Amino acid sequence: MEAIGQLTGGVAHDFNNLLQILSGNLQLLQRRVHEPDDVKRISASLGAVDRGAKLAAQLLAFARRQPLEPRAIHLGRMVREMDDLLRRALGEAIEVETVIAGGLWNTMTDPDQVQNAILNLAVNARDAMGGGGRLTIEAGNAMLDDHYAMRHEDVKPGQYVMLAVSDTGSGMTPEVLEKVFEPFFTTKREGSGTGLGLSMVYGFVKQSQGHIKIYSEPGQGTTVRIYLPRTLAAEEILTDLSAAPVENGTETILVVEDDPVVQATVVDLLKDLGYTVLRASDGQSALTLARSGIPIDLLFTDVVMPGPVRSPDLARQVQAMLPGIGVLFTSGYTENAIVHGGRLDPGVNLLSKPYRREDLARKVRHTLNNRRQAQGAQARAVVPPPPAQAPATVPPASTLQGLRVLLVEDDPLIQMDCEDMLTGLGCRVSTARDGRSALRELGRGSFEVLFTDIGLPGISGVELAQQAVLDDPALQVIFASGFGPRSGADGSRPSVPGAQFVSKPYGPAELEAALRRARGV
Ligand SMILES: Nc1ncnc2c1ncn2[C@@H]1O[C@H](COP(=O)(O)OP(=O)(O)OP(=O)(O)O)[C@@H](O)[C@H]1O
Ligand SMILES: [Mg+2]
């Protein structure tokens, strides 16, 4: 496994760089070409890039080398949310039934990869049920005891959340069953199966400290059971970045990338999005540029780079020099620089290669918006506070006078700034850094408004608000989010009735407007 991992990782790194060059240039061309035949050729080529990317991702998954981003999730909710997708993938002839046990525990796992696994199992089931049949997805709590653990390799006894996918299809012979997890093992005819589906699922489950078991007999159908470790953490509500709008920008971005062709492509993509771009081929020259005093808003760096300065060190040093700078990592394969124990280090922003222009645009915008909020805080910090009598001379402000607000924000700089703004509006403010301490704070005093960031460590702002409103239905909620102006009520699910949204970066005016909307004044 170790050797396969190294091999796959090494190939994936170079392979994804190649794909990045192809995909970036094709997309730049796509915007210039209008001749219908050429347009078709370009989209066929982009389709091939996607297939290549999928292949590399599946191999990395099998080798247990993909950077997982585990979150506390409720598998039942996830399965229900996939309903449409599954029905479309399976077609009319197959009936789908989902059975979610009551009181289902949460599990700590990478949501995208679980979805991927479920989809793979469902497609296998579809293929095994040529003429139609029934697919059943079940989720339930499970205990794997010592006895079971002893009889199965690599299983730790304990509490798990079990996900089972069953079909009424052809089933498998023992000979096939023995080989299904092997990469490239397939019984499908050439062109219709790569034989990587179950290998990927297997790798993912193992990397997640889970367990997988298949029951199948010819003519009797198949059941695949996946066990993922239980977590006691509260469910995290996920914000879907892919729903965010694609926006341009004018900030300055320092691109650090050692492969000259990849560098040229990325620089062109970013310029095409309106950004000013500086470039460096290694950590050392990037540091020199940062030291020169040129204002830089975002460091966009490859993870794997030649030379003595490793990318995490580069990020740290640049952040120390230019406080408030945004950092976005990119890689075709992350090795161990920013991934530890199979998961991405907390707080690390990663865009995996190859990426599309839209992914790049969204991720850059998102990172910059969060950063601009922090920087606005610094800029405002040097402005003297308004004279104490100011609010009194503006009569409408009095409706916010003395309003008790709990502010929840994990970035200390943004928190300080926002507290100042709220106090400037006449509010009485308490603060918390995360959901748990916020709930404690809410239990202690009576608050009229909860103003919370959506992305918080531990439980999310949305989860916090839902709990808080249950405890105190009169509480008004305002969410702050870094996902750009158009996300919000529909971009963040599920919503909290009557909640207001402000998008980062916000200033006192936006904040006041949101408070007034929340108060209905
Ligand atoms: N639900 C099932 N019923 C019957 N046979 C199955 C089922 N799932 C998998 N198999 C068998 O296991 C083999 C390997 O499955 P796997 O998902 O790894 O690859 P594939 O489906 O052939 O190709 P790919 O998923 O890469 O498109 C299949 O070719 C099939 O023979
Ligand atoms: Mg398959």
Q: Mean pLDDT across the stretch 478-491? A: 57
133 Rama sector, left if φ>0, alpha if ψ -120 to 50, beta otherwise:
left
Does the beta carbon of 170 lie inside 6 Å of ligand 1? yes
Question: What is the share, in percent, of the chain residues with pLDDT greater than 70?
Answer: 89
Distance CA 416, CA 409 (A): 9
Sign for the CA dihedral angle at 236, 242, 244, 246 comes to positive
CA angle 416, 377, 242 (to 5 degrees): 105
Nearest to 414 by CA among 367, 380, 462, 366: 380
pLDDT in tens, 436-448: 889 989 988 889 9
Question: How far away, in angstroms, is 59 Cα from ligand 2 center?
Answer: 14
Q: Provide the b/e sequence for 247-258 (b: ≥16 CB within 10 Å).
A: bebebebbbbbb
pLDDT in tens, 256-280: 999 999 999 999 999 999 999 999 9
Q: For residue 374, what pLDDT is reported?
A: 62
Taking the CB of residue 193, how many other CB atoms lie within 10 A of it? Answer: 16
Q: Evaluate whether 486 touches 473 at the Cβ level (below 8 Å).
A: no
Instruction: Confirm or reject: Cβ of 193 under 6 Å from ligand 1.
Output: yes
Query: What pLDDT score was predicted for residue 335?
Result: 63
Contact 282, 258 (CB under 8 A): yes
- Check residue 491 and give its pLDDT: 44
| Torsion region of 25: left, alpha or beta (phi above 0 gives left; psi -120 to 50 gives alpha) | alpha
pLDDT tens digits, 94-127? 999 999 999 999 999 999 899 999 999 999 999 9
H or E segment and range at residue 224: strand 221-231
Cβ–ligand 1 distance for 198 under 6 Å, the answer yes
CA of 2 to the centre of ligand 1 (A): 25
d(CA 474, CA 472): 5
CA 137 – CA 121 distance, rounded (Å): 10
Look at residue 255 and tell me whether its pLDDT is greater than 50: yes
CA gap 112, 129 in Å, rounded: 26
How far is residue 480's CA from residue 181's CA, in Å, rounded to a whole number? 45
Q: Is 236 helix (H, G, I), strand (E, B) or coil?
A: coil
Which ligand 1 atom lies nearest to the CA of residue 221?
3
Half-sphere exposure of 159 (CA within 13 A, CB side): 9
pLDDT at 204: 93
Instruction: Tell me the per-residue pLDDT of 312-346, one tens digit each, with 9 for 90 and over.
Output: 889 989 988 998 899 999 988 766 666 776 677 76
pLDDT for residue 433 is more than 70:
yes
Which tokens go with 287? 């540091």
Pocket-testing residue among 129, 198, 201, ligand 1, by greatest number of atoms within 8 A of Cβ: 198
Predicted pLDDT of residue 402: 87
Provide the pLDDT for residue 105.
95
Return the higher-pLDDT residue of 501 and 404. 404
Query: CB neighbours of 44 closer than 8 A, spacing ≥ 6?
Result: none
For ligand 1, whether the C-beta of 148 sits within 6 Å is no
Residue-level pLDDT at 240: 67
- Ligand 1 mean position to 187 CA, how many Å? 7
Report the pLDDT value the prediction gives residue 511, as an integer from 0 to 100.
86
Residue 493 has pLDDT above 60, yes or no: no
Closest CA to ligand 1's atom 8:
124
pLDDT of 414 > 80? The answer is no
Euclidean distance between CA atoms 395 and 521, whole angstroms: 12
* 194 Cβ below 6 A of ligand 1: yes
Note the pTM of the prediction, 2 decimals: 0.65
Q: Report the distance separating Cα 188 and Cα 166, nearest Å.
A: 19
The pair of structure tokens assigned to 20 is: 């990045």
Nearest-CA residue for ligand 1 atom 11 is 180
Q: Is the CB of 172 under 6 A from ligand 1?
A: yes
Q: Is the CB of 135 under 6 A from ligand 1?
A: no
Structure tokens given for 250: 């004018």
Model confidence at 492, in pLDDT bands (50, 70, 90)?
A: very low
Mean pLDDT of the chain: 86
The pLDDT of residue 28 is above 80: yes
Please tell me the predicted confidence (pLDDT) of residue 373: 66
pLDDT at 388 over 70: no
pLDDT attached to residue 409: 87
Rounded distance between C-alpha atoms, residue 281 and residue 306, angstroms: 9
Per DSSP (E only), the strands in 289-381 are: 298-302, 326-331, 339-340, 343-344, 350-352
128 lines ligand 1 (CB under 6 A): yes
Q: Please, are residues 250 and 230 in contact by the beta-carbon 8 Å criterion?
A: no
pLDDT of 67: 80
